[in-house]
Amino acid sequence: METTYGALMIVVSLFIYFLPTFVAKGKKHSNFMSIFLLNFFLGWSLLGWVIALVWAVKNEKSSQPTPVTQVSAGDEIAKLKALMEDGAITYDEFEAKKKSILSTI
């Protein structure tokens, strides 16, 4: 009975020790191996274990959306005109693109 209790305690202790690793694996964290190594080598210290757990739980993507910059139709046409004047596009290409831009507004 005491042997079973001792084995159970070892299994539970190992589970708790590697909890940050299990969380990172479950979340398919891109830094899984780094979290595992931190957990393995420094998990014995409470600070190392807590850092590994926080890192594993932390979301990888920022919660703030990236700002989308709107380019006006006038700006697009001005850029196309500059390209036409530089000889990068022909007058016909300029007119076709301008018509396409103006049809979207």
Domain boundaries, the chain: 2-57, 73-103
- Compute CA distances 7 → 2, 90, 97, whole Å: 9, 80, 74
The yes-or-no verdict on residue 15 having pLDDT over 70 is: yes
pLDDT tops 80 at residue 65: no
pLDDT, position 2: 79
Coil, strand or helix: which one is 87?
A: coil
On whether the CB atoms of residues 56 and 20 are closer than 8 A, the answer is: yes
Smallest CA-to-CA distance from 61 within 28, 34, 35 is with 28
pLDDT over threshold 90, residue 71: no
State mean pLDDT over 65-72: 77
Confidence band, pLDDT 50/70/90 cuts, at residue 105: confident
The structure tokens listed for 95 are 């007119």
